[in-house]
Amino acid sequence: MREIRVLGDPVLRTPAEPVEGFDRELRRLIDEMFQAMYAVDGVGLAGPQIGVSRRLFVYDISGRKGHVVNPTLTVDDPEEILDEEGCLSVPDRSTGRPQFAPVARAAGVTVEGLDRLQRPVRVKARGSLARCFQHEAEHLDGKLYVDRLPKSQARKILFQV
């Protein structure tokens, strides 16, 4: 099983490259990403989080499950909603569990991209699914949720990693 990369691994801070090959290897990678995500009770996982610097993510949250390859994200409703957010790649050193903090995210988004068979994917999302899409899309740009926090709060969380 693929290991979840944690803060300090350079792959998490490097913008991911587009996926070019839609083949058996990609299908296997997506299956492995779901397996890794479920193994740690996650709801979303981006390629860089398992050390694969490719633009794709998987999700299973709020009764919605899927994957998006080479996603683009559009904000449909810019109203910011403040809610608790954590990340598998930013665990507490003592517990190994994600650390949570309130993060403001857009209320509604649309993600577009391709599926494993190179068919178009378009998903409109609100609530926790919209939050998940924004979180995973930022991973593909080399960003983490702690980058959105006030410096003092981010330092407190980073001290625990």
Residue 15 φ then ψ, to 5°: -55, 135
Sign of the CA dihedral with 120 first, then 21, 8, and 45 last: positive
Q: Are 106 and 75 in contact (CB under 8 A)?
A: yes
Residue with tokens 């899309």: 137
Residue with tokens 């960003």: 143
Sheet containing 64-85: order of strands? 44-46, 56-61, 64-85, 101-114, 120-126
- Closest by CA position to 148, among listed 93, 98, 87: 87
Residue with tokens 């740009």: 141
| Residue of 17, 84, 85, 136 marked catalytic | 136
Is 136 designated active site? yes
Catalytic residue list: 136
